[in-house]
Amino acid sequence: MKQVAEELQALADAANADSHARGRLRFGRLAIEYGIHQYQAQQRWAHWALQQLDHAEASGTHQAPDGPQAR
């Protein structure tokens, strides 16, 4: 998973490597950054969900867990 994030970050860095004729941030950079943030959010949620399942299994409870804390 870390490798995927590193590859996406390398693509994002490359998106700014060339100069833009209008001198503005390229749409491609915005799109790849969206993907990076989306991937990181999904990864945080998956870790949280696994913790909830492990906790429920260890305690023998099957209650609905509290939501992940906002960051």
Q: What is the pLDDT of residues 7-65, one digit of tens each?
A: 877 877 777 666 666 666 677 778 888 888 998 999 999 999 999 999 999 988 766 65
Cα(58)–Cα(35) distance, rounded to whole angstroms? 35
pLDDT of amino acid 12: 76
- pLDDT of res. 18: 62
**Residue in 35, 66, 32 with CA at minimum distance from that of residue 49:** 66
Local structure of residue 60 (DSSP, 8 states): T
Res 66 pLDDT > 80:
no
pTM exceeds 0.75, yes or no: no
Confidence (pLDDT) at 45 = 97
